[in-house]
Amino acid sequence: MIENTSLPAGTAQNAVYRLSTWDISSVPWFYTAPLFIFALCSLSVLCSDKVSTDIKVPVGLLYQRYTPRWLSNAQFGVDAIGTIEKGYRKFKESAYKLIRSDVNMVVLPHSVMPELASLPNEIASGIRALERDLLGKWTAIHMIIESRLHHRMVQRKLTPNLSLVTPGIEDEVSSALSDIFPNSEEWTPVKPYYALLEVTARVVSRVLLGLPVCRNAEWLESATQFTENIFESIVIMRYFPPWLYTPLGFLLPSVWRTQGYVRKVHNLLGPLFAKRLEDLDNGTYKPAPGTQPDVFSWLAELSEGRDRDPTKLAHYELLLAQASIHTTLVREVNVLYDIIVEPRYLSMLREEIAHTQQTGWSKRSYHELHKLDSILKESQRVHPPTTIGLRRIMQQPYTLANGMHLPKDSYVCLPIYSIENDAANTENPEQFDGLRYYNKRLKNAGEPISQKHQFSSTDPTALGFGFGKTACPGRFFAGLVLKVLFVKLLTEYDFQFMPGVKERPKNLFAHEFLFPQRDYEILVRRRVGAKAPF
């Protein structure tokens, strides 16, 4: 969470909050609590060890060879982005390791990325690495390593049927913005984080559950607060050594609340899934006329064996909500700030939307919003939800083509933020260029080409969604939701920072995760006579 002055200006400096400038009273307690209670970690020095030598690679920061594990972990927690960047600059073409309290994190060079991405889960498991980083046992995310049902559903049902769910997304965006954003034509203070959290939860839930359950107050509270409390637990617990996780799990209110929201969702959705499964088994299920497809139906249809359990299916819905809401919200808030701080983008995007609308509006229209797509991708480059990617836990020993041996149970990853902000990969990375990827897609004749450099496409130097067969399967859904939302927002609302504010707000980093400031306010008003295409 401290400024990393070693990174290019406009990169880390625009992303990281300087610790000395914090107004503690205005920052959520879960960001600051670790700093107040961190002294307790000194207890772990009695049980800490020096750097493990399981993998023969150098330590990214020299001092970590001599400091106790808890101190190295503390440095990573408060300045992961700077710690990773320093190692990347020193060992750009080779591997190095950084010390966390729970693991020696081996950061691999960019050159091994294609090989690492191609390894199957049986050799290198991204799911187990993610579950470890998100403390699955304490955050109720452990189910992601027990079943791949939710993953299969996204690949086989959601992504191929995005055109079928688009009308529902458009309808829910319109309804949610009308309910949550100001309808006044006068400037009104709004906290984008909280407003867009509510909007995003409703839009995602429309696809997950359909009407009317997607607007159920108990579900919406559970979906949003489950996510919020998960990250409270992660941020705090990962400042401590693993041997303290058990007592912390019993002491932290965020852990209690997480389990409480899981029980609420089991009680709310479990009976609905039980009825649907019974109807499917009996052959008596018939969707009502006009019913749009949703994830609820797809999970029930695809479930088999141990997954065909109402409680598990309800839990999968909550995990899908968590995965969708948090990362989408982070992108929404940052894209909005990036557009406000550069007014030319606002007028340019409105022109693009109006031009696209001239030939009618359909699902295909969102593919024609090339400039909006470029801004989404550039914003993700500068403000990624996480600074590391392609994280893996080795399920068996493996030797890379370059001769490096990765033992079983070793943790490896790539420094995706450093890679994407390396001048060798991105021209002038310190600058936010909203048309960067739009210009890359232009032919000589001036027409956008192919599928390269799109927000949802993967690229060897744009790794926000991973790469290859293991890339995030939900990236196409995320891109669609973002575009629908911004078409509506930019067409029907005006935005500006508070009087006197010239720069966009800085993000907070805790461990490898990025968080927008929750309580930051901007001004919003309805545009007179403006109407979105839907």
pTM: 0.89
Residues lower than pLDDT 70 in the chain: 1-54, 443-450
**What are residue 442's DSSP bridge partners?**
448
390 alpha-carbon distance from chain centroid = 14
At 438, which helix (H) or strand (E)? helix 436-440
243 DSSP 8-state letter: G
SS3 content of the chain, % helix, strand, coil (to 5): 55, 10, 35
CA torsion angle 60 65 67 73 (round to 10): 30
What distance in Å separates the CA atoms of residue 371 and residue 42, rounded to the nearest whole number?
Answer: 51
Residues 6+ apart with CB under 8 A from 272: 213, 296, 310
Environment class of 503 (CB within 10 Å of its CB; exposed 0-12, middle 13-18, buried 19+):
exposed
Question: Is 120:128 a contact under the CB 8 Å cutoff?
Answer: no
For β-strands 411-414 and 104-107, DSSP reports them as parallel
pLDDT at 445: 55
CA distances from 409 to 105, 222, 396, 400, 416 (A): 11, 34, 7, 15, 22
Domains annotated for the chain, with CATH where assigned, are 19-526 (1.10.630.10)
Dist CA 220 CA 24 (whole Å): 29
Buried b (16+ CB within 10 A) or exposed e, 317-328: bbbbbbbbbbbb
Quick: pLDDT tens for 441-486.
886 555 656 678 999 999 999 999 999 888 999 999 999 999 999 9
pLDDT recorded at residue 135: 96
Q: Where are the beta strands (DSSP E) in 56-157?
A: 96-99, 104-107, 124-125
Q: Specify the pLDDT at position 64.
A: 79
Sign of the Cα torsion 494, 499, 504, 506 reads: negative
472 annotated to bind ligand: yes
